[in-house]
Amino acid sequence: QVQLQESGPGLVKPSQTLSLTCTVSGGSISSDTDHWSWIRQPAGKGLEWIGRLSTSGTTIYNPSLKSRVTISLDTSNNQFSLNLISATAADTAVYYCAREASGWHPYMHDFWGQGTLVTVSS
């Protein structure tokens, strides 16, 4: 059973970089059939897909965040990370990491982390 766990600071100052790591267990992050994504949810609101990373190194980002976001892979630690520069209060949300399955055109998020709340405030 694949498990994902987000980690990182719960509080980020405005204009600074929001950085989170997702640790994957129970499976290899190097699987060539899976993709790894970040999704966020502001309090009381819906879900927003941030982007995904394939083990081939291909990344796809939401255009609404594209200029500020980077998702990267650390295969040696079975982790992937999110960096969001120039954070503002609008980036305050619960951030989820998830596995996007499967193949060259993924179609669902079958495993999710528990989510981590990040607040952007001075």
Partner 1 sequence: DIVMTQSPLSLPVTPGEPASISCRSSQSLLKSNGYNYLAWYLQRPGQSPQVLIYLGSNRASGVPDRFSGSGSGTDFTLTITRVEAEDVGVYYCMQALQAPLTFGGGTKVDIK
**Contact between 27 and partner 1 (CB under 8 A)?**
no
22-30, 67-75, 80-88, 106-114 -> range binding partner 1 (CB under 8 A): 106-114
Q: How far apart are the first and last CA of the chain?
A: 39
Angstrom distance (rounded) from CA 105 to CA 92: 30
Angstrom distance (rounded) from CA 61 to CA 45: 20
Give the one residue of 21, 60, 70, 78 binding partner 1; rule: CB under 8 A: 60
Q: Is 66 left (phi over 0), alpha (psi -120 to 50) or beta?
A: alpha
**Contact between 33 and partner 1 (CB under 8 A)?**
no
**Contact between 112 and partner 1 (CB under 8 A)?**
yes
Closer of 21 and 112 to partner 1 (Cβ): 112
Angstrom distance (rounded) from CA 85 to CA 17: 4
**Contact between 64 and partner 1 (CB under 8 A)?**
yes
Residues within the interface to partner 1 (CB under 8 A): 46-49, 51, 60-64, 96, 105-110, 112-115
